Amino acid sequence: MSDRSDKGMRDESARVRIFDTTLRDGEQSPGISLNKQEKVEIAHQLARLGVDVIEAGFPITSPGDFEAVQAIARQVEGPVICALARTAKQDIDAAWNAIKDSERPRIHTFIATSEIHMRHKLRATPEDVKGQARAAVAHAKQYTDDVEFSPEDGSRSDVEFMAEVIQIAIDEGATTINVPDTVGYTMPGEYAAMFEELYRLVPDLRKVTLSVHCHNDLGLAVANSLAGVQAGARQVECAVNGIGERAGNCSLEEIVMLMHTREPSLGLWTGINTREIARTSRLVSRLTGYQVQPNKAIVGRNAFAHESGIHQDGVLKERTTYEIMDATTIGLEANSIVLGKHSGRHALRKALEELGFQVEGAALNTAFKRFKELADKKKKVTALDLEAIVSDEMRESPAAYGLEWFDIEASSSRAPLARVGIRMPSGEVAEGSFTGDGPVDAFFSAINAATGREARLKEYHVSAVTGGRDALGEVTVMLELDGVQASGQGVATDILEASGRAYLRALTNALADSPVAEADHHIGAAGSAGTPAR
């Protein structure tokens, strides 16, 4: 059952709003490089999931991020679309210009309030910080009534000084106050006590929405977020699969299902459509290249698996003996067979629509071609297969490198030799050949030779989309090029083909990220608040 189904019967004061920062803080994870189309697709899925707020990005950092936030603001309906900005005027202007076409825009501005951040990062006095907070919120308020303010590194800040800054933000019109545990340092009891003291020092906090944003450096992001909510916060900032800076953010699926499963005792609820959780997790994992660990709570492949004979016996007799939630509640039954070899274009379109993909025209023709190719190799095509091939096609771009053909000779008696034909962004096809320690190494070296790039492989992962010998293979590659790390993914029944696709996409992403990295470095050096890491 979705949390949405009976929300009209619940106490609205107990509703916890879900602020999703997968596309902002989550994308800051090393190696993640999403293009505009991928970000928009994730945002549409977040809307289907029912999040209240999508923090779509940090527009000032690069033209690419600005364009992605703008596209989300224009195309995605339902949630509030939020953009992050430091206290600098140009940041706030960029944020507004990116989100102004949204039906529900929000500007989120922040500045650090901890002594260590003020002294070493900002090199600013407490009075400077108060002045910048005042000016930033006032400037943002000229654009929109919905303004969020965060005192960065709040959990390590002097609570009385932070209270002064928060009061200033509220006086200037901030409607949401987010007090983050930026470095994942606090503990639940400390975090709750901090909020209790803030309520005492700033009575006006009860007139606005109080928010939590917790990082997982000590493995306490979910626990701390819950402590904040129990102390009175009614917004949780979190990310799908818990991705984000360093050890990541509070995991959306964990905090949501915690409140869903324990609602009778907690008395808290969300507007999340829980049946979309598994699909959202798979999409984010596939597009970011960040694999979900098998024992990950809620969405890991072992989350509802039972190896022990005693456990299996108990579950067969009565599921609730060892399962505290139903797998169907989060949509894990999506691996059902949906299409066969002789299914037509109409059946494909309908199946894709049920999966949340609106595919028409040339995109449908491409998807149908990939489906037929897959159906010729597999007897049955599942929903997971369709998700994989459609997501794979989403990554294609005219400006990207493409795999035209490859030929690999390998045996146990001599070094493998790979030959490749690579479609360059200009449209011409370049060829390259190379030997290596194995077929994959030779393949990647041949790609380097054809493209004239000296990329270095950092990580290489292979997984099966579904079970069986005819399963689609999904490959994730992380490489480094000129100091920039980037990931790429590829899907095919042939693991070598999937590997080539993944390597070329990682190479494309690394080249696309180079200007962004330079822009971020410049902003961090010259701006008033440094690189964001709330």
In whole angstroms, give the CA distance from residue 339 to residue 332: 18
Contact 70, 98 (CB under 8 A): yes
Cα angle, residue 434 at apex, residues 512 and 456 outer, rounded to 5°: 35
Q: How many CB atoms lie within 10 A of CB 256?
A: 26
The model carries a pTM of: 0.82
Q: Which of 72, 34, 67, 36 is nearest to 53 (CA)?
A: 72
| Segment 165-190 mean pLDDT | 98
Return the exposure string of 436-456: e unless at least 16 CB atoms fall within 10 Å of the residue's CB, then b: beebbbbbbbbbbbbbeeebe
d(CA 141, CA 121): 26
Q: 452 is written with which tokens?
A: 């004239």
From 221-235, 364-378, 397-411, the region with the lowest mean pLDDT: 364-378
Q: Which residue has the higher pLDDT, 156 or 330?
A: 156
pLDDT reported for residue 465: 84
pLDDT computed for residue 291 by the predictor: 86
Share of the chain above pLDDT 90, in %: 64
**How confident is the model at residue 528, as a pLDDT?**
36
pLDDT at residue number 353: 80
Higher per-residue pLDDT: 510 or 396: 510
Do the Cβ atoms of 418 and 443 come closer than 8 Å? yes
**pLDDT digit string (tens) for 236-263?**
999 999 999 999 999 999 999 999 999 9
pLDDT category, 361, cuts 50, 70, 90? confident
pLDDT at position 324 over 90:
no
The rounded distance, in Å, linking the Cα atoms of 429 and 64 is 27
Sign of the torsion angle spanned by Cα atoms 69, 23, 208, 531: negative
How far is Cα of residue 261 from the mean position of the Cα atoms in its chain?
24
Q: Average pLDDT, stretch 348-373?
A: 82
Q: Which residues pair with 179 in a beta bridge?
A: 212
Looking from the CA of 132 toward its CB, the CA atoms found within 13 Å total 26
* pLDDT recorded at residue 80: 98
Q: Which of 42-56, 190-204, 230-244, 354-368 has the lowest mean pLDDT?
A: 354-368
- Which residue shows structure tokens 């004979």? 309
**Residue among 88, 1, 16 at smallest CA distance from 259:** 16
Tokens of 84: 């992050």
What are the structural domains of the chain? 15-296 (3.20.20.70), 402-520 (3.30.160.270)
CA angle 256, 95, 58 (to 5 degrees): 55
Confidence of residue 294 (pLDDT cuts 50, 70, 90): confident
d(CA 270, CA 250): 15
Task: Evaluate if residue 310 carries a pLDDT over 90.
Answer: no
Are 462 and 475 within 8 A, CB to CB?
yes
| Residue 487, pLDDT above cutoff 70 | yes
Looking at the predicted structure, is the pLDDT value of residue 470 above 80? no
Amino acid present at 347: A
pLDDT top residue among 468 and 492: 492
Q: Give exposure, 212-231, as e/b (b: 16+ Cβ within 10 Å).
A: bbbbbbeebbbbbbbbbbeb
Report residue 98: phi and psi, to 5°: -80, -35
Comparing 294 with 324, which gets the higher pLDDT?
294
d(C-alpha 240, C-alpha 46), whole Å: 9
**Average pLDDT in the chain:** 88
